[in-house]
A and B are shown apart, each in its own frame.
Chain A
Amino acid sequence: MAGHDLNATPRLATKAMLKHDNVREVELLLLPERVVLLNKSGAAILGLCDGSRTVRQLVDQLEHDFEAADLESDILSFLDDASGRGWVVVT
């Protein structure tokens, strides 16, 4: 179901909203009843979950942006967790 299929397409759940908080200078994920404080990589991953790219493309993009070569397994496990929590929908 989750991100292990590199050809799947992750998309932020309708109920979830990403926000850069200008007042507190942090990246947040807003949900109906809670606010999740994201670290830099979490925010970067979720920011690319817009339904327009596959997990493979998302990994490529982030490896390019962060100038790193070995992000795949970290990203997959983050997406697994995020879809388990209902933050992203993977189709």
Chain B
Amino acid sequence: MNGTPQPFGLLAEVTHRCPLHCVYCSNPLALLDRADELATEDWLRVIGQAAELGVLQVHLSGGEPLVRGDLETLVAECRRLGLYTNLITSGLGLTESRAESLVAAGLNSAQLSIQGDAAEATDLIAASKQFGKKEAAARIIRDAGLPLNMNVVLHRLNLARLDAIIDVCARWDAERLELANAQYYGWALNNRELLMPSKTQLDQAVGVYERRKAELAERMEILWILPDYYEPYPKPCMGGWAQTALTVAPDGVVYPCPVAAEITTMEFASVRDHDLDWIWAKSPAFEAFRGTEWMPDPCRSCSRKELDFGGCRCQAFALTGDAGRTDPVCQHSPDHHLVQDALVRANQEDGGADRRLVYRRSDSPGV
């Protein structure tokens, strides 16, 4: 690799505020509140600096980004700078007039998430019965002339409904559907015993995915995001640490990945104190795991090190307390038993039965 790579994507987490309480939310356990959020001018500066760095696409996310009234201003600035914008939304708060003003500002695309195929699923997973609002949001997105991309996090409690979930997305005219098997960070790690599917469940779901993908090939692109605990090797997370994208949290702290805030042993810099360029190219946290030099064995001497970059640093930290270790998902990792043990429990008859779901709430003690 010659020199510092240039990032393609900026994930702008404009807020942590959200009307939903998803049990697998990727936001950190310590949620930021409104008073911590960057002001409009700060975001405009960040967007400008991101464009200079080489960012091409800005994903507006949260929390629920629609709770911020200045989203149109941010989208318009992206458009002025020739950046592609994508709104990642739960759909709650998306009215026709809001969609129109966002499109007028230059919004290019929207991704709508659902928790399942009916209100009961939304209630169980997100502690909200607002399924009708999601259907309305899907229609509003399409009526505004935007492509409808949908995303569903899959886990033990909804995998059996996969057929019905795909039906809903097809009925709402989604162009693309991401079936994202739950990844176990933050809230999802807290709920792992209840969310982790058994092998049998997963195999059945893969069958459904393959059948529907072929059936709907002309209408809807369906993607399957692998459940990494069941894979022999880790995912090439984000194309490697600080290689292709960056995340700016609501308070302006910049991370190489959306869940890196969990790595409490590292210090991440804020756009309140530094330019994005310095943070990306020079800050110690971004440099720490860039490339392959930092790797311990078994990665250091492994032929796959340029393929998966030793896996996910956040997962290594979450499971071992050390962000610099090989991702425990890897079968060569000395910590692989941590993943194996979780799988054994998930495949027992009564897996997780005596646990209760922990909903994402800002008043939850950071368990």
Contact = CB atoms under 8 A, between A and B. Distances in A.
Interface stretch (A24-32, A52-60, A63-71): A24-32
A84 to B, nearest CB: 10
Contacts of A86: 175
B52 interface: yes
User: Which 4 pairs, one residue from A and one from B, show the smallest C-beta to C-beta distance?
Assistant: A23-B54, A30-B84, A15-B147, A32-B109
Nearest to B52: A23
A14 interface: yes
Contacts of B147: 13-15, 32
B56 A32 contact: no
Contacts of B82: 19-20
Which of A13, A19, A28, A32 has the most chain B CB atoms closer than 10 A to its own CB? A32
Interface string B92-108: 00000000000000001
Contact of A33 (B6, B145, B176): B176
A14 B54 contact: no
Contacts of B331: none
A14 B145 contact: yes
B57 interface: yes
Contacts, number: 42
Given A14-B146, A15-B146, A15-B147, A32 B53 contact: no
A25 to B, nearest CB: 11
Given A14-B147, A17-B108, A19-B56, 19 more contacts: A14-B146, A15-B146, A15-B147, A15-B175, A17-B84, A20-B82, A21-B56, A23-B52, A23-B53, A23-B54, A30-B57, A32-B86, A32-B109, A32-B111, A32-B176, A33-B149, A33-B176, A35-B57, A86-B175
Nearest to A19: B82
Which of B53, B84, B175 has the most chain A CB atoms closer than 10 A to its own CB? B84
B246 to A, nearest CB: 15
B209 interface: no
A15 B174 CA distance: 13
Contacts of B54: 21, 23-24
Given A14-B145, A15-B146, A23-B54, A32 B108 contact: yes
Which of A24, A30, A86 has the most chain B CB atoms closer than 10 A to its own CB? A30
Contacts of B176: 32-33
B8 interface: yes
B152 to A, nearest CB: 15
Contacts of A28: 56
Contacts of A17: 84, 108
B56 A30 contact: yes
A71 to B, nearest CB: 28
Contacts of B145: 14
Interface in B41-98: 52-54, 56-57, 82, 84, 86
A67 to B, nearest CB: 29
